[in-house]
Structure 1
Amino acid sequence: MLFGGWQPILHTLIVGVLGYVGIILLLRASGKRTLSKFNMFDFIVTVAFGSVLASMMLSKSTSLAQGLAAFGVLILGQYALTWMSSRFEKFDKLIKAEPRLLFHHGQVIEKAMKDERVARSELDSALRDSSLGSIGEVAAMVLETDGTISVIPKSKAGDEASIPNAKE
């Protein structure tokens, strides 16, 4: 129970190293978009990568070839989603959330905050991260599709056109 012999350990080491190298090569071949900031689909692929790698390393019934094939399927799926999303606006809107305006013209938009389950403390944190001195310097705060909050300073906002695609 505590030690099952050297063969399982050797299997884990060999498959772990080869699987790791395989992931790196597949991700490198698939392009930068596969590792972009997280959206829902990126999160799913990341969790699935971890599951596949764990199965490869710890299960004798999952071969290295099966694991690498699974990585290939996940990367191909991610590539297909991003390809479709970049070419078909309706598909993009179907699978991706839109940015949401949380703060504008000196006012917190309470309905948006409640709908998106964002606490006021998260706006405060985004303000601190932005290096602005006070909320008075902020034109808008937008909840981005990857869950981050963008802070748009008044000095850069200029007009409404500089807050693209954010709905209230």
Structure 2
Amino acid sequence: MWFDSFSDLVRVLLVGGAAYITVVVLLRTTGKRTLAKLNAFDLVVTVALGSTLATILLSQSVSWTEGALALALLAVLQTAVAWVTTRRPGLRAVVTARPRLVLRDGEPLHDAMRAERISLDEIRQAVRSSGTGDLSSVAAVVLESDGSLSILSAQQYGDGSALSGVEGVGR
């Protein structure tokens, strides 16, 4: 349908404006972590915030108050999970995957790659993107908890202390 009524349009403008302001205020008060690209849990919260905002805007059966409460609940839960996992590192594994070594000293770690469902072509692409043309000059490639690949060249490797906590290091 192209048009129902002016009252529907006015509702979208008024409730949409109020919901937008609510989201901005919540994001500013809960900090950068709420929309950070850190892990699957953060992605789920980000998608849920967007879905909730869309529901507030388009569903007449959801009042602005109900929507604002839902947005606030998501932000508070995200903040609570972040707070708990920074104070209880053991619980972090419940919410976040550990980073994993997928290439060491230019050699692909096929078991790790298979477990993480990542191909050698994806590793090569990441290495090329880092400005390196030779796998043998790469000390480590890490599949991070957010799904990105970090590349450490042999020159950048240093003492390797940045790899502390990465699964597959030290084996």
Provide TM-score, normalisation by structure 2: 0.92
2:150 maps to which residue?
A: 150
The offset of 1:159, in angstroms, is: 3.4
- Partner SS state of residue 38, structure 1: coil
- The residue type equivalent to 2:39 in the other structure is N
Q: Distance in 2 between matches of 1:14 and 1:129?
A: 45
**How do residues 89-108 of structure 1 correspond to structure 2 at under 5 angstroms?**
89-108=89-108
The offset of 1:160, in angstroms, is: 4.1
Whether the 8 Å contact between 1:157 and 1:163 is mirrored in structure 2 is: no
2:161 maps to which residue?
A: 161
Q: Distance in 1 between matches of 2:28 and 2:120?
A: 39
2:75 maps to which residue?
A: 75
Q: Distance in 1 between matches of 2:116 and 2:60?
A: 44
**How do residues 10-159 of structure 1 correspond to structure 2 at under 5 angstroms?**
10-159=10-159
Q: Which runs of 5+ in 1 are unaligned?
A: none
Moved more, 46-55 or 23-32: 46-55
Moved more, 78-87 or 50-59: 50-59
Percentage identity across aligned positions? 37
Provide TM-score, normalisation by structure 1: 0.94
- The residue type equivalent to 1:98 in the other structure is R
Whether the 8 Å contact between 2:35 and 2:46 is mirrored in structure 1 is: no
Q: Distance in 2 between matches of 1:36 and 1:48?
A: 14
The offset of 1:71, in angstroms, is: 0.6
- Partner SS state of residue 150, structure 1: strand
Q: Distance in 1 between matches of 2:35 and 2:55?
A: 22
Moved more, 20-29 or 34-43: 34-43
- The residue type equivalent to 1:40 in the other structure is A
May I ask how many residue pairs the two structures share in their alignment? Answer: 168
Q: Which runs of 5+ in 2 are unaligned?
A: none
Q: Deviations over 1:102-154 (max 9, x none)?
A: 00022100010010000112111211221223222210000000100000111
Q: Distance in 1 between matches of 2:138 and 2:32?
A: 32
Whether the 8 Å contact between 2:101 and 2:112 is mirrored in structure 1 is: yes
Whether the 8 Å contact between 2:102 and 2:108 is mirrored in structure 1 is: yes
Q: Distance in 1 between matches of 2:36 and 2:58?
A: 28
